Each structure stands twice: as structure tokens, then as C-alpha cells.
Amino acid sequence: MTNFSAFMIGAPHSGSGKTLLTLGIMAALGRRGLKVQPFKCGPDFIDPTLHEMVVGLPSRNLDLFMMGGSVCREVFAKHCRGCDVAVVEGVMGLFDGSEASTAALARLLNIPVVLIVDARSAAESIAALIKGFEVFDPELQLSGVILNQVGSERHVQLISDSMATNCRSRLLGTFPRESGFCMPERHLGLHMGDEHPLTEDQRA
Amino acid sequence: MTNFSAFMIGAPHSGSGKTLLTLGIMAALGRRGLKVQPFKCGPDFIDPTLHEMVVGLPSRNLDLFMMGGSVCREVFAKHCRGCDVAVVEGVMGLFDGSEASTAALARLLNIPVVLIVDARSAAESIAALIKGFEVFDPELQLSGVILNQVGSERHVQLISDSMATNCRSRLLGTFPRESGFCMPERHLGLHMGDEHPLTEDQRA
């Protein structure tokens, strides 16, 4: 476990693309030969089925409200044993849910947060949003940002230039506006892994 | 002009509801017997027709890129004469467009900004977003926030509690999620005033 690493995937709000990019990141890490342990913040029972579909291992729920801090820590430590990397998918917006928020869980587990930011409909203003998530909770390690739904190289450039001047978190990657990657949504969530929400192509 | 006041209406990103709420604010000020002068940041020719439809006075464009700072200031001062209040509708996200941004125009005219925030899909995290827009440019006076698309009193309470702890700007009002107030969008904007985008009911 010397090279073990773990991080939380959060977002400013629901619908930013957390689940889709979490699945992509888990798949990419797996393809590099790393043993990935998936986790989901909160009581969600849908996203873990998607994690399992991609990783091949059951995803574990970590819910601060129902399990409390010490049980969350125990479950996290237990399932990280023997793995190379733990990827925890957050729930809702990063600070939503106050004491049981994604941010609170990241602080408890002492893991950094990668923020998935829906970059549609704004450019330099995206850096202002990121800045807000950086300074809102000084105890939180917001280490990197992935821009989702970027429109063009120029769009990325405007945001990354503004981030370089104004933000401390690194731009880790971008994901294009691409309707082929859209996951169908329904009330309070997505579809279960065994309901075939993703084609073979999308999972590749 | 002793009681003259002026403010900018901005938003974190396009599609937050700037135009709809600008029209509502202009109508409300007019109904109180105030003479409102509408302005639009940028070269947009659609929104000014909507302003005029509501206020009954031509709305003036203020475009830093094409007009430069001193002409913008002149046009602003000229059309404010004899009015009680000037309402300037921003364009895109507050900081988008760098030197010709909504924020840059607000700084140039030395007027405070009211931020229209789409509150869908998040709760406490909305306060983090607002914080970002407060600290991003210390020279900007972000004086108040209107939450658009709020879902319930509980939703507002979660956001306003978090704002009270973390933000300096005041919550000026909220607007409910109400599909009857939706304005049809098209590529790069809305519909012109004479294309009847709003029913008599919606304008009332």
C-alpha cells in the first residue's frame, strides 16, 4: 500500500457530470493495471451499481448521517486494503447536506477533492466559481478541477488563463460537449447498472 | 436626481434568468412610480426590445469593446438624466468577456452588482459559488443576490443560512421554480419584444 492514493470526486451542483466522469476515471485507472476500490458518498444505491459495472468490485457506501464518522472511517480503511487507489464519488453539490456533505466526508477521510465543473454557459466566470469552492472551507483540500462540457479549445483557454491568475487548484483535464456521452436521468438519479444505461461503446 | 440610483444585474453564467428578472425588476420599479432607464451591457439587440416593452423607453447598449470606456460613461450619464433609477442588464457570466465583461462595465460606471443565481440542483454549495463571485474581484461591489428557481422554503433557508455564515452579500429576494415564467430560448439569445415572447399575464 506504499503507493496507495485516494480522492473524492465532487461538483458545485447535481448534474455536473460527477457519475459519468467518475466512471471514466475508474475505467482509466483500471486500464492502467491499478486495483480500484469504488465508494459512494451518501445512501445512493444506483451509482454503486454503475461503479461495479466498470470496476468489477462492489462499491461501498459511506454515509456520514447514517453511519457516523468512525464507522465511515472503518469501512473506508477496510475496503482500501489491498487496493491501489480509492475513488469516492460525492453526492449533490460539494457542500450540500451540511454535516453529511461530500466536503465533510473528504475532510473526515483526509482525502483531496477533484471538482467536476460543468463549464457550459460561461468562460472566465467559471474561475470565479472555482475560487468560491477553494476558499469556502479552508480545511478542505481542493486539489484539481476537471472541466466538463467544454465547447472548444478557446473556451478551455479562457477558463484556464483565468484559473492560472486567480485560483490555486490545477486544471487536470477537460471533457467535451458530446451528446453521445449523456446519461439518461430520472427523478433523484440515474439508472441502475443492470438497466443498461451505458452502451459497450460508452463504457470503452 | 438626488435620489438617483443605478445597479447592474449579473449572473454566474448565461441562462441564470438575468433577462426575466431584469424585466420583473424594471416593471416593479415602474409600478412604484419611478422613471426607469434601461441599459444592456454588450451589443445585444434582443434584450433591449424586451426592456422597452416593459419600461416604455428605449434601452441603451453599453459595449466596452466597441464604444470604449469614456463613450460608455457619456452614454450612461446622458440617458440617466431625468430618471430615478438606471437598471443595466449584464451579458453572459459576470466575468466573461474579460475587458468588456459585465464586471468591467460595473466597475467603470461605479455601480453595484445584483447577482441572479440559478439555485437549482444545489443548496449550501450555492453560498460557495456566491463567495467566489464576491472575492474574485475585490474592486467590484457585489451588493446583493437574488436566488432564481428556488424549490421550497427549506431550500431557501439552507442557502440563506449558509450565506449568512460565509458571504457578505445580502439575499435580496427569491423567485420560484415556475415553468409559466420560462422564456423560450434560441441560438445566442431570446426572442425580440415584437415577437411576443411574453404573454400579458407574464408581463403583469
Query: pLDDT of chain A along its 204 residues, tens only?
Result: 468 999 999 999 999 999 999 999 999 999 999 999 999 999 999 999 999 999 999 999 999 999 999 999 999 999 999 999 999 999 999 999 999 999 999 999 999 999 999 999 999 999 999 999 999 999 999 999 999 999 999 999 999 999 999 999 999 999 998 766 666 555 555 556 655 455 444 544
Closest-CA residue of chain A to B97: A124
Expressed in percent and rounded to 5, the helix, strand and coil fractions of chain B are 45, 20, 35
The reply to whether B15 touches chain A by the CB within 8 Å rule is yes
Please give the CATH superfamily to which domain B5-203 belongs: P-loop containing nucleotide triphosphate hydrolases (3.40.50.300)
The reply to whether B71 touches chain A by the CB within 8 Å rule is no
Cα dist from B156 to A12, A56, B93, whole Å: 17, 41, 22
Ranges B22-26, B78-82, B157-161, B187-191: which has the least confidence = B187-191
Grid cell in block for residue A154: 478557446
pLDDT at A93: 98
Look at residues B70, B10, B6 and name the one whose alpha carbon lies nearest to residue B38: B6
Name every chain B residue with its beta carbon within 8 A of the beta carbon of A133.
125, 128-129, 132
Look at residues A96, A109, A81 and name the one whose alpha carbon lies nearest to residue A8: A109
Of B56 and B182, the structure prediction assigns the larger pLDDT to: B56
pLDDT at B204: 43
Please answer yes or no on whether B128 and A133 come within 8 Å at the CB atom: yes
The closest CB to that of B128, out of A15, A92, A132, belongs to A132
Please answer yes or no on whether A13 and B122 come within 8 Å at the CB atom: yes
The confidence band for B2, taking pLDDT boundaries of 50, 70 and 90, is: low
The reply to whether A147 touches chain B by the CB within 8 Å rule is no
The yes-or-no verdict on residue B77 having pLDDT over 50 is yes
Contacts 24+ apart (CB under 8 A), B71-79: B72/B105, B72/B108, B72/B109, B73/B108, B73/B109, B76/B39, B76/B109, B79/B37, B79/B39
Residues 89-118 of B with CB under 8 A from A: 92-98, 101
Please answer yes or no on whether A125 and B15 come within 8 Å at the CB atom: no
The distance of B119 to chain A (nearest Cα, Å) reads 9
Q: Where are the beta strands (DSSP E) in B45-166?
A: 60-62, 85-89, 113-118, 142-150
Contact B177, B147 (CB under 8 A): no
A vs B: CB pairs below 8 A: 117
pLDDT at A3: 83
CB within 8 A of B156, min separation 6: which ones? B147, B150, B174
pLDDT at A99: 94
Q: How many CA atoms lie within 13 A of A171 on its CB side?
A: 21
Contact A94, A113 (CB under 8 A): yes
Rounded Cα distance, A74 and B59, in Å: 62
Please answer yes or no on whether A12 and B95 come within 8 Å at the CB atom: no
Please answer yes or no on whether B120 and A13 come within 8 Å at the CB atom: yes
Look at residues B26, B60, B31, B57 and name the one whose alpha carbon lies nearest to residue B43: B60
Expressed in percent and rounded to 5, the helix, strand and coil fractions of chain A are 45, 20, 35
Q: Is the ipTM of this complex over 0.85?
A: yes
The yes-or-no verdict on residue B1 having pLDDT over 50 is no
Q: Which CATH architecture has domain A5-179?
A: 3-Layer(aba) Sandwich (3.40)
